[in-house]
Amino acid sequence: MYFAPALHAEWLKIRTLRSLVGSLGAVLIVTAAFTALAAHDAGGPDTDRLYAAFIGVNLGQIAAIAFGTTAMSAEFHGGALRLSLAAVPDRSRWFTAKAAAVTLPALAVGLLTGLTSLAVGKAVLGADGPGWGEGVRAAVGCALYLTLMALLATGLAAVLRSGVATLSIVIPLLIVVSFVIGDAAGGVADLLPDRSGQIVLHHTRDGSLGPWSGLAVTALWTAAALAAGAWRVRRRDA
């Protein structure tokens, strides 16, 4: 099977599985809702007005991770992977199609989420809200960040072959390691996938990484996870 039919088949899986559609919807709803709630408490000269408009990404990214995890882990239940590989015997081509099928809707929803979060943040913060120039940059960065986190989870799910195991690793990494241990770890913590990627959502940021170099670090984490997942799919029996 050529790549285009393989991609179409993977897209049909995502479109028809309600849990995946629900995860994508949750990315938008949770991010916008939490931004609206948290922005009310933002204020003062020391507040990062740009991050205040995108603070909901901290919760919305969990839905993006759940989307990427479920899209891959569903293949390991009920012999679904055997059927997929029967249709697309080239495992590398199949895995690439799966990653592309995750990327396209995640990027589209991520961009919509970024623009919605910006609009909500500006509406709630009023004169203290971010400008359109830096806001649009952050909205695009938000879309890229959420997409990379979804793909990171996709790669890890391919390695672990379990949605539960993947979420048990990624969610504590974001909540415990990044927020609890991160500040104590100093500059090293800025190289974590979430902290580096979220630099693009900040107006000012201390450290050596900038908005796009921070996203590049997250992209390296994602590329490593996808490479490991592709290797696992090629080496392990369906």
Domain ranges of the chain: 3-233
Using one digit for the tens of pLDDT, what is the confidence trace for 171-217? 988 877 777 766 665 567 778 899 899 999 988 777 778 889 999 99
What is the predicted pLDDT for the residue at 21?
A: 94
Cα 225 to chain center, whole Å? 13
Give the pLDDT of residue 77.
86
Does 62 score more than 90 pLDDT?
yes
The yes-or-no verdict on residue 10 having pLDDT over 80 is: yes
Q: What is the pLDDT of residue 238?
A: 58
Q: What percentage of the chain exceeds 90 in pLDDT?
A: 61
The number of CA neighbours under 13 Å toward the Cβ of 189 is 16
Alpha helices by DSSP H, the chain: 3-16, 18-39, 49-53, 57-73, 80-87, 91-125, 132-160, 163-172, 182-185, 193-197, 211-235
pLDDT tens digit sequence for 103-158: 999 999 999 999 999 999 888 887 777 888 889 999 999 999 999 999 999 999 99
Residue pLDDT, tens place only, 67-97: 999 999 999 988 888 989 888 889 999 999 9
Output the pLDDT for position 216.
96
Q: Which of 3-12, 19-28, 123-132 comes out lowest in average pLDDT?
A: 123-132
Q: What's the whole-model pTM score? A: 0.93
pLDDT score of 42: 62
Distance CA 24, CA 40 (A): 25
Contact assessment for residue 209 and residue 190, using Cβ atoms and an 8 Å cutoff:
yes
| Exposure string for 25-37, b = 16+ CB within 10 A, e = fewer | ebbbbbbbbbbee
CB 97 within 8 A of CB 6: yes
